[in-house]
Amino acid sequence: MIIWGMDSDVKHISGAGLNHCETCERKRPFNVILQYRFAYLYYIFAWVTSKQYFLTCEVCQRGWKLNQKTVEANLEQNPIPFLHRYGWSFLVGLVALFVISTLIHG
Ligand SMILES: [Zn+2]
């Protein structure tokens, strides 16, 4: 049986100082966040299907989409956990090992 599914997560990237929030109608602290979705097989072999950065008001959580390239250019490290990005590579590795051992042992 193949176990698979989709999930999503939100990562706080950084504070973005005070900005005027149109929903709160006053100055609010804003944050840069990353919202991403990932799909997985057997909970381990995962890959990211979509991601979007937002500038959001800390109080009402409303805000704007940010340009992905601009945000990522300023990131020191990728905020998405390694397994969510490259879990699929373990599956590729396992298949490769299986193929190699089949070739060696006939
Ligand atoms: Zn607000």
Question: 69 alpha carbon to ligand 1 midpoint, in Å?
Answer: 25
How far apart CA 21 and CA 103 sit, in angstroms, is 62
State pTM to two decimals.
0.81
Residue-wise pLDDT tens digits, 45-77: 999 999 999 999 999 999 999 999 999 998 888
* 100, two tokens: 């190699």
**Domain of 54?**
4-105
Half-sphere exposure of 25 (CA within 13 A, CB side): 0
Tens of pLDDT, residue by residue over 89-103, are 998 999 999 999 999
- Total number of domains in the chain: 1
C-alpha of residue 65 to centroid of ligand 1, in Å: 15
CA of 83 to the centre of ligand 1 (A): 33
